[in-house]
A = this chain, B = another copy of it.
Amino acid sequence: MPESIKTLIIHAHLFTMQGDGVGYIPDGAVAVKDGRIVDVGATSELDARYQASETINASGCALLPGLVDAHMHTYWAIARGVAQDVGNWMQAALSPYARHATPEAKLAGTKLNVVEALKAGTTMMMDYVPLYDGWAEFYEKAGVRARLTPMINALPKTGMAGLKLGALYPYDDDAAQMKIEASQAFIQAWHGAADGRITAMWGPQGPDMLSEDHLIQIKKLAEREGLMIHMHVAQGDREMNQMLKRYGARTPEYLANLGYLDEQLLAVHLTEATDEEAAMMAKSGARMILCSGSIGIIDGIVPPMRAFREAGGLVALGSDQASGNNVNNIFNEMKLTALFNKIMARDPEVMPAWEVLRMATIEGARAIGLGDKIGSLEKGKQADLILVDLTAPNLTPVLVDPVRNIVPNLVYAASGHEVKTVMVAGKILMRDREVLTLDEAAVQAEAQEQAEMLSRRVAEDSSLHGQMALMAAMEEGRL
């Protein structure tokens, strides 16, 4: 007598990501019940074993774990494309928009970004933003898996704009304390919410952006609660200068002395870290989040991910923010990570497709502390998975013998638009490209409206005249 289950997906090119490789099963199937995977194997076997409420025929599709995006600032989708090709990105191009971003604009950006990422197969989103109303509630409604990090800093209300380049930032310790308390309340309210689909982390914005006392306070709170710390680390020469001036040490050494380097730390970027510093951090057990696209565009730099991994560290991929990437899409990050590292090493064998696919799935899940719940398709794990249509012209042909071409094409030829169906915790969030949990057109329209209002405020701010990096490009007709 077959066992009753909710969903059976059959006839897929199944990549379980179990074991050391990609765990391919030809004509594979996955059985889902109560939000979890209850079985994985050959279609012929599972078909006989289960009676499903819904059977999905995945013929012509790749079936993969949902992708992990370990670092997003979703609200910046509201300013996609306003700050590229400039030298001092944050202060000269982004800050004018940051200054005028209202909570409504930020939430509209979050909604847009979540839709964008979901449509590109991202099921696990690690969002890292200053708190605003409706943020976590939106994730609850959208149905994606999320680890949410309220960003904590001691920067003045006006942000980075107007700070003298090279001078020490002034700290507003009261503001930082309030943000720590707000984070505490947020964590109590949301960590483990939506049946565990939503979890939280502690998020100091960077070791240069709040006082040492506050860094220590956050570390203690995180330890007490068993939560991870999501933090920008060595994210640019600006930060390194601050650290050297303030503490006489580069960031990795400073964090080591402070007791911050352990398995609790998710260190984002490492843009300015040396190979030696990256290796030292990896050996401490800290995890790295690599944002190839954004750091390539913003800084023209390829972070020392290879040194970090060679020292045994776990790395997850992140898409960062649309005002400097300009897309939040893990297919894009996989491709750029493989290619950037090949050309920096002048070696085509570096960072093969299967390795970056692992970073986007099982290795990424382990890096962010969820390796026991997601990242591979195996019995007992959450049913977070995607179907990718391999009959798209850019993914045709599909070959399995003597050389299987699916993984290289997912990494080098797919764009994310080929993702057909997305499931999180057993629930279908997108079917045949249609998002079921959200009104995509309304999200798009709200983002457009809020972005136009934001742009108008920027245009009308006379204090910004002469301070925005892209004005010459506008005048010369290059934009």
- The A90-122 residues at the B interface (CB cut-off 8 A) are 112, 115-116, 119-120
Using Cβ atoms and an 8 Å threshold, which residues of chain B touch A297? 339, 342, 348, 412
A300:B397 contact, CB within 8 angstroms: no
Of B78, B354, B476, which is within 8 A of A397 by CB? Answer: B78
Q: Is A166 an interface residue (CB 8 A)?
A: no
B474:A402 contact, CB within 8 angstroms: yes
Question: 1/0 per position for A15-26, CB-CB distance to B under 8 A?
Answer: 000011111100
- Stoichiometry, copies per complex: 2
Known: A396-B444, A479-B408. A85 touches B22 (CB 8 A): no
Which of A257-265, A321-329, A363-371 lines the interface with chain B? A321-329
Using Cβ atoms and an 8 Å threshold, which residues of chain B touch A409? 80-81, 326
Q: Is A130 an interface residue (CB 8 A)?
A: no
Q: Is A440 an interface residue (CB 8 A)?
A: yes
Using Cβ atoms and an 8 Å threshold, which residues of chain B touch A116? 393-394
Cα(A344)–Cα(B86), bound, Å: 16
Q: Is A155 an interface residue (CB 8 A)?
A: no
Known: A398-B448, A470-B403. A84 touches B408 (CB 8 A): yes
Using Cβ atoms and an 8 Å threshold, which residues of chain B touch A353? 84-85
Cα(A82)–Cα(B396), bound, Å: 12
Of B115, B296, B406, B407, which is within 8 A of A393 by CB? Answer: B115
Cα(A350)–Cα(B296), bound, Å: 11
Q: Is A473 an interface residue (CB 8 A)?
A: yes
A459:B343 contact, CB within 8 angstroms: no
Known: A403-B82, A408-B326, A476-B21. A397 touches B448 (CB 8 A): yes
B80:A327 contact, CB within 8 angstroms: no
Question: 1/0 per position for A282-301, CB-CB distance to B under 8 A?
Answer: 00000000000100111111
Question: 1/0 per position for A304-348, CB-CB distance to B under 8 A?
Answer: 000000000000000000100111110000001001101111111
Q: Is A451 an interface residue (CB 8 A)?
A: yes
Closest-CB distance, A390 to chain B (whole angstroms) = 10
Cα(A474)–Cα(B401), bound, Å: 9
Q: Is A405 an interface residue (CB 8 A)?
A: yes
Interface centre among A82, A300, A401, A440 (most CB of B within 10 A): A300
Using Cβ atoms and an 8 Å threshold, which residues of chain B touch A80? 395-397, 405, 409, 413
Known: A340-B343, A354-B479, A393-B116. A81 touches B474 (CB 8 A): no
Interface centre among A81, A348, A412, A470 (most CB of B within 10 A): A81
Using Cβ atoms and an 8 Å threshold, which residues of chain B touch A474? 402-404
Known: A300-B345, A397-B452. A325 touches B477 (CB 8 A): no
B354:A399 contact, CB within 8 angstroms: no
A407:B479 contact, CB within 8 angstroms: yes
Of B115, B416, B455, which is within 8 A of A399 by CB? Answer: B455
Cα(A268)–Cα(B448), bound, Å: 42
Of B21, B299, B347, which is within 8 A of A348 by CB? Answer: B299
Q: Is A51 an interface residue (CB 8 A)?
A: no
Of B20, B350, B400, B477, which is within 8 A of A24 by CB? Answer: B477
Q: Which 7 A-B pairs have the closest CB atoms?
A: A81-B405, A21-B477, A397-B451, A415-B415, A85-B352, A417-B417, A300-B342
8 extra A-B contacts, CB within 8 A, seeds A85-B348, A296-B342, A399-B452: A20-B476, A79-B405, A87-B347, A87-B348, A112-B397, A325-B412, A403-B474, A415-B415
Jot down 6 A-B pairs with beta carbons below 8 A, ordered by A: A19-B477, A24-B479, A296-B343, A397-B447, A397-B450, A400-B455
